[in-house]
Structure 1
Amino acid sequence: MKKTLALLFCLIGWFALIGQYYLTIENRTTSILEANFRFFTYFTILTNIIVSVYFTVLAFKKNPNQKSGILTAITVYITVVGFIYQIILRGTWHPTGFQRLIDELLHSVMPVLAIIFWYLFENKANLKYSQVPKWTIFPILYLIIILIRGSLSGFYPYPFVDVTNLGFTKVLTNSLWISVFFIGLSMLYIKIGKLIAKS
């Protein structure tokens, strides 16, 4: 069942990513090179790539067992994607047609699938709060990179990190709150995991 679900979920993930890449290139208003740079500066895209690669590895690995914590970290990342989109970004645009399908797959479906997979297969008893700092490395590096690139190109992938419009102080404040949410969510997953393991 684990390998079957991993295969199904990875196919959905790659379909959504390839579809979004096609739409990005097809509807670009910049050069192809810049469109590619922008595509890979979205946390949604990078996180969905991580999730899809994870499911792909499990689907084709002979013994699909992973060290406890890896799946939880990935699930936290994609949960953050889902929450921020639903709470902050959903009202900022209204995609239609194929774009809407891809949008829902990336921001709504994949987070739910990852949570289901986490619930079913994560080794929850071995989760540790000491793992949380390691999980924050990816989002911190991401923030630093997009701020540096944004200062050079003028393009920021999300409105809450747009230094041009908000100023550096406001962006740092927004980033701090998102970091607090990220850490709190990580600890919540660990707590819930331990409770489930004991039940």
Structure 2
Amino acid sequence: MTADSRAWTTAWQIARIATAIALVSATAAQFSRTVGNALTKTEAHASHLPTVISNFFSYFTIESNLSSAILLVVAAIWTWTRGRDGRREPAGLSLLLACVSTYMIVTGVVYNILLRGIEDPTTSVAWANEVLHVVGPLFLLADVLVAPRRGALPWRALAVVIAFPVVWAVYTLLRANAITGPATGNPWWYPYPFLDPHLQGGYGGVALYIVGIASAMGVIGAAVIGVGRWRAARTAAERMAAGRLPEERTPIA
């Protein structure tokens, strides 16, 4: 590893840590605003903290951002402690990074196309909202494109990438009618309006959104895996051309 590549690797790990701190800080700010708002309410449905807190952590955005923060820290630590000898990250870490990268990119796209401008000012913090829906997704996209040591994955890894969103959608739809909406008092609660059959003309309208977002998830997940494979192959070719052994990396199947 040259001095320039070591400096770049170190700089990127610092950026990963800084981004993780920003994501956690933004999540904490949103959480504080949400709980603080609930504490000012007198209605039972609006002030029931267990429901308010469980709803907060049921947002795909929150789950994606917190997972990304954890994985960015883990990836930075691995690179600093194990990746300096030229090895690519282990397959498990590569897979988890591919998952959170896909989820964050989709989060950014869906928010900015479908949800921007409909935030509830009583539970949303403007700067935190931008970090969670713009800064975070853009950094994870950059991590896919330029981060050192990202490993290649087999195409079958796409099934794992899309598994969590499927589970999340099932959980959300099954849970919805068991929850009273804190803001509305309705005997249902959905984290996003495009999942609410009362707003979409029934479950048929919801199904269309789910199919569309699932398709985007599959395409973006495949692109994330494809970029990783291309970068790994290009690096291996460059090392072979320079007369060096290929880097140890996740096998491409």
- TM-score of the pair, normalised by structure 1: 0.89
Q: Which moved more, 1:142-151 or 1:113-122?
A: 113-122
Indicate the residue corresponding to 1:102 in structure 2: 128
Q: State the match for 2:212 in structure 1.
A: 177
Give the AA of the match of 2:205.
K
What amino acid does structure 2 have at the position aligned with 1:51?
Answer: S
Q: Deviations over 1:26-60 (max 9, x none)?
A: 12233111110110111000100100111222344
Q: Which amino acid aligns with 1:180?
A: S
Change (3 A) 1:59 1:127: closer
- Indicate conservation of the 8 Å contact 1:72/1:122, yes or no: no
Distance 1:66 1:4, change over 3 A: farther
Query: 2:82 is matched with which residue?
Result: 63
Q: CA RMSD in A?
A: 2.2
Q: How does 1:83-98 map to 2 (within 5 A)?
A: 83-93=109-119
Alignment pair present for 1:111 and 2:130: no
Give structure 2 stretches of 5+ with no counterpart. 1-9, 39-45, 84-88, 180-187, 235-253
CA contact (8 A) 1:73 1:186 kept: yes
Q: Is the 8 A contact 1:124 1:190 kept in 2?
A: no
- AA paired with 1:163? P
**What TM-score comes out, normalization by structure 2 length?**
0.71
Displacement of 1:101 after TM fit?
Answer: 0.3
Match of 1:4 among 11, 14, 24: 14
Contact 1:129 1:190 in 2 (8 A): yes
Distance in 1 between the 2:230 and 2:77 partners?
Answer: 31
Partners of 2:108 and 2:166 in 1: CA distance: 18
Alignment of 1:118-129 (within 5 A): 118-121=144-147, 126-129=152-155
**Residues 133-192 of structure 1: CA distance to partner in whole angstroms, max 9, x if unpaired?**
111111011001111110212000000100233212221221111111110111122333
* Map 1:157-176 → 2, pairs under 5 A: 157-166=191-200, 167-176=202-211
Residue in structure 1 matched with residue 48 of structure 2 by the alignment = 31
Q: For the residues of structure 2 that align with 1:190 and 1:56, how far apart are their CA atoms?
A: 21
Q: Is the 8 A contact 1:71 1:122 kept in 2?
A: no
Deviates more, 1:8-17 or 1:154-163: 8-17
1:80 and 2:114 are equivalent in the alignment? no
Which structure shows the higher helix fraction?
Answer: 1
Q: Greater CA radius of gyration, 1 or 2?
A: 2
Name the residue aligned to 2:68: 51
**Closer, same or farther: CA 76–43 of 1 in aligned 2, 3 Å:** same
Q: In structure 1, what is the Cα distance between the partners aligned to 2:102 and 2:222? A: 10
Q: Is the 8 A contact 2:152 2:225 kept in 1?
A: no
Is residue 95–residue 157 contact of structure 2 (8 Å, CA) maintained in 1? yes
Q: Which runs of 5+ in 1 are unaligned?
A: none
Q: Which residue of 2 aligns with 1:13?
A: 23
**Contact (CA 8 Å) 2:17, 2:73: kept in 1 or not?**
yes
Deviation, 1:7, is: 1.7
Q: Which amino acid aligns with 1:93?
A: E
